[in-house]
Homo-oligomer: A and B are copies of this chain.
Amino acid sequence: MARTESAKNLTLEAPQGADVFVCVTCRKAGDDEEGPRPGALLAAATAKAAHGTGVTVIGVECLGNCSRSLSAAMRARDSWTYVFGGLDAANDAPALIAGAQLLMDAADGTLPWRGRPDVLKRGLIARIPPLHFTPTPEDLE
């Protein structure tokens, strides 16, 4: 199946940019069980949208956000990692790429609210600090 095949080859573009992980197993209640999984369709659409952007798209088996699928996560070099849910296979690939580009360009490693696509505002599931994170006094006051 072409969709499955493309989900197997989602590593594209420059490794120094940003990574977007898309859950390829996500399916919602009522989705066609015989057809391609919506998560795999989102992964394929996101990989296509990533061409030339410096964003790498990686299909992943389950991001653990099953109750609020479709799911994706993103991180850039030394950035926080962001997890998003409630994504739509047909529409949200460009938002994932736009968000990853914002994150890649963020000097402080956090995804700015301003300019963030709406689906990445309402769909935030969690954010996790970068490696070698040291809390500043402001983080803990």
Contacts and interface: CB of A to CB of B under 8 A. Distances in A.
A126 B8 contact: no
A7 B126 contact: no
A70 interface: no
Q: How many copies does the complex hold?
A: 2
A73 B140 contact: no
Give the size range of A's interface with the partner: 35 or more
A137 B82 contact: no
B135 A71 contact: no
By secondary structure, the A interface counts as mixed
A33 interface: no
A106 interface: no
A127 B64 contact: yes
Interface in A96-141: 124-129, 131, 133-135, 137-141
B128 A58 contact: no
Given A8-B140, A140-B8, A131 B129 contact: no
11 contacts: A4-B141, A8-B140, A21-B129, A21-B133, A59-B139, A60-B135, A60-B139, A61-B135, A64-B82, A64-B126, A65-B126
